[in-house]
Amino acid sequence: TAKENWINDPNGLVKFRDKYHIFYQHHPHSLRWGEMNWGHVISDDLLTFSYLPHALTPGHSSDKDHCFSGSALVHNDRLYLFYTGLILAEKREDERQQQCLAVSDDGIHFEKLGLIIGEDKLPKDFAPNDFRDPAIYEEDGTFYLLIAAKRVDGRGNILKYKSTNLLDWEFVTDILPSDSKGAMVECPDYVKDL
């Protein structure tokens, strides 16, 4: 739990330099849902935690109003945070959810690299105001992002993107054979058979 106020969606459980890092959506100013930041705790044993400053706070051009859920990856001794930046609008259909990236060399201070997947890389039949929660994984030297999305006038699905450098992404396919029965799918993840 956070020290105070709203918390939801744990993000990016990862081990980086002998510490476990857990991130989570946090509204630091209210007990109710609102301006989402990424809270951040670390642990040596997953039993005792130390609170750190927020890893992500809204305000960049790509995440002006919220830093929504995502995931984390350790690669080449750097910590990468993939998350959804939200830009609000008067009408819900004019809002934009887009995928963003931040990096850290020490696991505490994060530099926002900004937008990596925007609506220009979204298939035309999917809505740019319901496009969120990137889940990162690597397989055979290629990186993949699974991203929750909603078809225009339809239901939720999961879109798959690929990259070789974590910055340039290409759409691959939608994962589900048919849209979900729910209005939206959220927080997808991938676990390889062990």
| Six token digits for residue 75 | 């690669």
Position 42, amino acid? I
Q: Choose, from 9, 65, 174, 179, the residue flagged as catalytic.
A: 9
DSSP β-bridge partners for residue 159: 147, 174
Tell me how far apart the alpha carbons of residues 85 and 132 are, in angstroms, rounded to a whole number.
Answer: 8
Helix (H, G, I), strand (E, B) or coil at 92: helix
User: Among this protein's residues, is 105 annotated catalytic?
Assistant: no
Tell me how far apart the alpha carbons of residues 164 and 161 are, in angstroms, rounded to a whole number.
Answer: 11
Strand ranges (E), 63-192: 66-75, 78-87, 96-104, 111-117, 126-139, 142-151, 156-163, 170-174
Active site residues: 9
